[in-house]
Structure 1
Amino acid sequence: MVRVSIPLVGFLLLCCLASVTRAETLLKYKDPKQPLNVRIRDLLSRMTLAEKIGQMVQLDRVAATPEIMRDYSATPQDWIQMVNGFQNGSLSSRLGIPMIYGIDAVHGHNNVYKATVFPHNVGLGATRDPHLVKRIGSATALEVRATGINYVFAPCIAVCRDPRWGRCYESYSEDPTIVRKMTEIIPGLQGDAPKKGVPYIGGRDKVAACAKHFVGDGGTVKGIDENNTVIDYHGLLSIHMPGYYHSIIKGVSTIMVSYSSWNGRKMHANHDLVTKFLKDTLNFRGFVISDWEGVDRITSPARSNYTYSVLKGISAGIDMLMLPYNHTEFIDIVTSLVKSKAIPISRINDAVRRILKVKFILGLFENPLADQTFLDQLGSQAHRDLAREAVRKSLVLLKNGENADSPVLPLPKNTSRILVAGTHANNLGYQCGGWTLTWQGLRGNNNSEGTTILSGISTAVDPSTEIIYSESPNADFVKANNFSYAIVVVGEPPYAEMAGDNLNLTIPEPGLSTITNVCGSVKCVVVIVSGRPLVIEPYLSRIDALVAAWLPGTEGQGVADVIFGDYGFTGKLPRTWFKTVDQLPMNVGDDHYDPLFPFGFGLTTEPAKSS
């Protein structure tokens, strides 16, 4: 037995503490006073190849834990606990590098129960109001932070050139000028960058943003999702690229690559555009992320040669890869490719350097764990008021009586009896559309909090006015009830991505039958709830007033605000409204341009005098 005197033990302890102190001093990457590039270089120099490759992997939350993840009724505290649990695992690693947690928050914090769901981008494009969109970005950042999350896969800055595309509602407009202006959501999400072109996140109330999907996703043939965009280089740069120029100028932290191809070449494998143009020419300094299993689809069928796909994707310039389920296979493959020099270590270092930069500017090394500072922001009244304002400004009035001398809208609040009809009048899930609590959206009414259009109407009218709701009334019922007028709310069911690709764009039944049964028997206002223009010309003569409400989200009261004249109609079409699908694709400026309602069209009204 070795005996040690107490004074000697004390001396050894002091020596050990001094060694730890000196070691901590040498860890420049943990010192927030050090310049950013010094911290990045220091940390990169300490990392093994395995640790570097690990930074390039993004898992799905289900794969990140063996437990079944909570459903959409989870509380913000549940989300915080989950995110902190993942983060603590990252912090316990050798170097304690924090993770970055990303989520689709494409029209508010749309995955979370009770969050404010804003209008989808097509409706925001109708507002022509970049400042409004910036405010929505700020509100979304607060609600995302309320659940402990710090990174959002938004905004989508696609320029949808064919409404048959199932993601068309994620596009602000067919016009690249409007899309470019709406990149103002980025400083809303991240904060105002003090220096142009440098990734920036301005505090714990902000999140890292992601401009997507680079590039040309909205231009695919016949609007087929994930398909081929056929356009020359000038067209690609003039139509599909301006949103990216301006996103980079505004300091966007990350950019996501598109599933689609450009002239037959997969974007996930396009070194010329991802590295030479985006990184080298545009000087993008954040990190490039793949779409969900995007690298897997470089080969067809997907994963038929996974090693080749990984090689092409990383060589193209993708820095972080969404690998929801097969991260161990990926790590083994990349390790082998680096050791065989098929992928140079310089490419790995570039990817990791970019990822670490975003983590540092996000403040994750100083504040890695979520807290409850912003809990009261989720679904707050201020955010719901903002969403209601956005709904009002997004509505486009397409018809209002036969001429200016006989307008139908605004409707009087004080009348005897109003019929409200249609599948979309009393369905919150239909109002919100896809990417709401679930990927494809919700068909039901009670899965979130908000106001349906029907309840908004009931609140808006005079208490003495009788509201009768019938989802799909027959003509005899309408004729027998002596209604003062009717409001018919119809449109599309929710969908997302390729599930929404649609070559006919007709209003599904019983929507068309409801229009036929109601309009003509009574003065009627038709409100279309949809992610894009739909075929309406054959029914237009029966309709007294026509409103495009797009996908308004949880605050349906905003529709009633304008219909009853508390506010005037101000929205303008962000897309050309076609006569028949045979005309598609048809965009403003085309030689064959012959629309039902042209791009930019929108009648206006003044608020009712009584209001």
Structure 2
Amino acid sequence: MAATIYGVRSFFLSAAIVILFAGRYGGAAEATGGYIKYKDPKAPVEERVEDLLIRMTLPEKLGQMCQVDRFNFSFFPTGQEIFTKYMIGSVLSNPYDTGASQLKRVLTSNTMQKLSLSTRLGIPMLYSIDAVHGHNTFINATIFPHNVGLGATRDPQLIKKIGAITALEVKATGIAQAFAPCVAVCRDPRWGRCYESYSEDPKVVNMMTESIIDGLQGNAPYIADVKTNVAGCAKHFVGDGGTVGGINENNTVADDATLFGIHMPPFEIAVKKGIASIMASYSSLNGVKMHTNKAMITDYLKNTLKFQGIVISDWEGIDRITTPPKANYSYSIEASINAGIDMVMIPFEYKEFLEKLTNLVNGGYIPMSRIDDAVRRVLRVKFFIGLFEKPLAEETLDPEFGSEAHREVAKEAVRKSMVLLKNGKTNADKVVPLPKKAKKILVVGRHANDMGWQCGGFSLTWQGFNGTGEDIGRNKALGLPTGKTRGTTILEAIQKAVDATTEVVYVEEPNQETSKLHRDAAYTIVVVGEVPYAETRGDSSTLSIAEPGPATINNTCGSGMKCLVVLVTGRPLVIEPYLEKIDALAVAWLPGTEGQGVADVLFGDHPFTGTLSRTWMKNVAQLPMNVGDKNYDPLFPFGYGIKT
């Protein structure tokens, strides 16, 4: 999902609104006193769906097809109309909606839900959020490594635990759906979303897809436990990991062997696992925008695979069908709905959308059968995930949010995701594990001491955050997180891991004199990599280490002191020019909040076990290059990783 910074100030509705609707929710629906099948939890879900569907007016049906941004609700009194007038069926929190405490968000969720339940039919709303590496939008949540690191673990049981923890923390904030997992098969690391992909190999992606859905949803239809599981969303359908040149939202050129052998299998698995929803991709497939691709959405996904859940658009996805966006909005609505989109993510312009959609239905351009199919799918998911029986969020999950037990699993994930690519210039000259006891060690590079940079994009905000002092004032002025989320930086973890007598000297940006000044250090740990990004802003034609990373390596490695480089990155970077200078090289990927896991393997408390889930190229001229290609000549091959 994409987002931009909005000049919208959020505030919560007053307690008076809660009281106003507390006595009404659920009581307004068909208050005739007779038996109402859709309200009977013992009735079969499909019968409940049909019973409710035939009672609905056209405006009520179209409202269920809309998902709007929660910020709309912040305006009193018009925010109430989202539910009471327009009967919107779903809301989402965008990746900047991070300011509230966990308990305040539960209150907000329940206030919105009571408004939904106060309508004529009492249909509950579905609340959704991006939770792509833990509950990553919320301060003090447990943030796990991004998928590129999890793919390196090759540990499906660990991934299942991560899914279950993510679901529990999402539920603890009153939210019922996570826009996860991303099941893209990234075939070109120049793509700005490559870190959201588990691997270039569909077999690895398939394995992780199955496990993460088991964790998020459980094993029953859609979700197993109303209290602790969430509805998942497999994304982005289909082929977004194979765009030409690795350019985000570009065209993917794929024959049947490529499409059905590489990009489609994770979605087939997601459907078999009962995924609640699937999100369409911004990208095109063989020149056809995926948001308008009826052959893929309706003919294959719905009719061939028998997918029964919701097909949802991406953020303003239908707007981007045309260039420029919304150039012909009526056409975009007609094309996307007729292609099989069931729920449309229209953050703010929902009134215009509903007006045009109503006209298209009344004019016969979109058949009522298509509307009924879409609404039927939305209702089916809401019934299966327990919203009708248990619509209100609980406050009792508060102790689970960001708990120590959850962080222990995150540390395990970091440890198992670490990949050792070089360990000494000769077999007899190993650097790792590092000795804990030394007179002095030198740690250099901003990535060692910046929580935001080690978390990467989709962390507190869409594009990630900066966690150093000079950024806090700027972020505060913009209404963005200040980096004060709970966790351990890599530097803090190193300081904790070494012997109490060992002096740890940290230099953020070393110059040529730094190594001379600290020549008595036993070794240097250099932590460099990428600056946080998300989506198109992450597209890169060079895959270079971010400045001043190259200078940091050159100023500290090759000086006679042992030099271990740790890369904090969402993908392989061009490292060959520096490899001769480096004594040891490890990849931490984007480890999240628990930097202790990095130190655990560097100092030998746990072994290096991770292996590359991506091919590590020598240079970008080789790209795209994936395991199994005819001319496969990598710097480090897929599956490589030194064990300790």
Kept in 2: contact 1:142–1:205 (CA 8 A):
yes
Kept in 2: contact 1:115–1:378 (CA 8 A):
yes
**Mapping of residues 290-439 of structure 1, within 5 Å:** 290-439=313-462
Kept in 2: contact 1:199–1:285 (CA 8 A):
no
Residue 306 (structure 1) shift: 0.4
Q: Does 1:257 align with 2:280?
A: yes
Question: How far apart, in 1, do the equivalents of 2:418 and 2:311 lie?
Answer: 35
Question: How far apart, in 2, do the equivalents of 1:378 and 1:281 lie?
Answer: 40
Query: Match of 2:534, as an amino acid?
Result: A
Question: How far apart, in 2, do the equivalents of 1:166 and 1:50 lie?
Answer: 39
Q: Does 1:192 align with 2:219?
A: yes
Residue 204 (structure 1) shift: 1.4
Residue 477 (structure 1) shift: 2.2
Query: Match of 1:303, as an amino acid?
Result: K
Kept in 2: contact 1:192–1:202 (CA 8 A):
no
Partner of 2:589: 550
Question: How far apart, in 2, do the equivalents of 1:496 and 1:509 lie?
Answer: 18
Root-mean-square deviation (CA), in Å? 1.4
Q: Does 1:470 align with 2:507?
A: yes
Residue 72 (structure 1) shift: 2.9
Partner of 1:529: 568
Aligned pair partner of 1:164 in 190, 200, 203 = 190
Give percent identity, aligned residues only: 60
Residue 272 (structure 1) shift: 0.3
Residue 447 (structure 1) shift: 2.6
Residue 296 (structure 1) shift: 1.1
Residue 26 (structure 1) shift: 2.2
Partner of 1:105: 131
Partner of 1:40: 49
Corresponding pairs, count: 582
Aligned pair partner of 1:137 in 157, 163, 168 = 163
Residue 173 (structure 1) shift: 0.3
Query: Match of 1:541, as an amino acid?
Result: E
Kept in 2: contact 1:433–1:495 (CA 8 A):
yes
Deviations 1:216-253 (A, max 9, x none): 00000111101100111221111001101111111111
**Mapping of residues 230-309 of structure 1, within 5 Å:** 230-309=253-332
Task: Report the 3-state secondary structure (helix = DSSP H, G, I; strand = E; otherwise coil) of the residue aligned with 1:330.
Answer: helix
Aligned pair partner of 2:552 in 514, 517, 535 = 514
Question: How far apart, in 2, do the equivalents of 1:392 and 1:289 lie?
Answer: 35
Kept in 2: contact 1:520–1:543 (CA 8 A):
yes
Residue 373 (structure 1) shift: 1.7
Residue 201 (structure 1) shift: 4.1
Kept in 1: contact 2:226–2:390 (CA 8 A):
no
Describe the shift of the 1:411–1:26 C-alpha distance in structure 2 as closer, same or farther (beyond 3 A): same
Partner of 1:484: 522
Aligned pair partner of 1:501 in 526, 529, 539 = 539
Question: How far apart, in 1, do the equivalents of 2:55 and 2:338 lie?
Answer: 24
Kept in 2: contact 1:72–1:112 (CA 8 A):
yes
Q: Does 1:564 align with 2:590?
A: no
Q: Does 1:181 align with 2:181?
A: no
Task: Report the 3-state secondary structure (helix = DSSP H, G, I; strand = E; otherwise coil) of the residue aligned with 2:72.
Answer: coil
Partner of 1:460: 497
Question: How far apart, in 2, do the equivalents of 1:416 and 1:498 lie?
Answer: 46
Question: How far apart, in 2, do the equivalents of 1:596 and 1:568 lie?
Answer: 23
Deviations 1:251-293 (A, max 9, x none): 1110000000001110000000000000010111111000001
Q: Does 1:600 align with 2:639?
A: yes
The more displaced of 50-59 and 198-207 is: 198-207
Kept in 2: contact 1:32–1:366 (CA 8 A):
yes
Task: Report the 3-state secondary structure (helix = DSSP H, G, I; strand = E; otherwise coil) of the residue aligned with 1:246.
Answer: helix
Partner of 1:443: 466
The more displaced of 532-541 and 76-85 is: 76-85
Question: How far apart, in 2, do the equivalents of 1:539 and 1:226 lie?
Answer: 33
Kept in 1: contact 2:194–2:570 (CA 8 A):
yes
Partner of 2:179: 153
Partner of 1:27: 36
Residue 340 (structure 1) shift: 1.5
Question: How far apart, in 1, do the equivalents of 2:45 and 2:508 lie?
Answer: 59
Residue 73 (structure 1) shift: 4.0
Kept in 2: contact 1:569–1:604 (CA 8 A):
yes
Partner of 2:474: none
Kept in 2: contact 1:190–1:208 (CA 8 A):
yes
Partner of 1:90: 116
Query: Match of 1:489, as an amino acid?
Result: V
Query: Match of 1:469, as an amino acid?
Result: Y
**Mapping of residues 48-87 of structure 1, within 5 Å:** 48-66=57-75, 72-87=98-113
The TM-score, its normalising length taken from structure 2, stands at 0.89
Residue 71 (structure 1) shift: 5.8
Deviations 1:475-498 (A, max 9, x none): 322123211000000010100000
Kept in 1: contact 2:30–2:121 (CA 8 A):
no
Specify the structure having the higher radius of gyration (Cα).
1
Query: Match of 1:461, as an amino acid?
Result: V
Deviations 1:375-419 (A, max 9, x none): 111110000000000000000000001233221100011111100
Task: Report the 3-state secondary structure (helix = DSSP H, G, I; strand = E; otherwise coil) of the residue aligned with 1:420.
Answer: strand
Gaps of 5+ in 1: 1-19, 606-611
Partner of 1:591: 630
Kept in 2: contact 1:117–1:387 (CA 8 A):
yes
Question: How far apart, in 2, do the equivalents of 1:284 and 1:421 lie?
Answer: 51
Query: Match of 1:258, as an amino acid?
Result: S
Residue 328 (structure 1) shift: 1.1
Kept in 1: contact 2:223–2:229 (CA 8 A):
no
Deviations 1:562-604 (A, max 9, x none): 0000000000001000001111111111112110000100000
The more displaced of 543-552 and 444-453 is: 444-453
Query: Match of 1:470, as an amino acid?
Result: V
Kept in 2: contact 1:134–1:188 (CA 8 A):
yes
Partner of 1:116: 142
Question: How far apart, in 2, do the equivalents of 1:507 and 1:393 lie?
Answer: 23
Question: How far apart, in 2, do the equivalents of 1:392 and 1:58 lie?
Answer: 38
Residue 333 (structure 1) shift: 1.3
Residue 21 (structure 1) shift: 11
The TM-score, its normalising length taken from structure 1, stands at 0.94
Question: How far apart, in 2, do the equivalents of 1:282 and 1:484 lie?
Answer: 59
The more displaced of 213-222 and 60-69 is: 60-69
Query: Match of 2:570, as an amino acid?
Result: G
Kept in 1: contact 2:514–2:556 (CA 8 A):
no
Question: How far apart, in 2, do the equivalents of 1:276 and 1:561 lie?
Answer: 50
Deviations 1:133-176 (A, max 9, x none): 00000000110011111101000000000101000000000000
Question: How far apart, in 2, do the equivalents of 1:375 and 1:157 lie?
Answer: 30
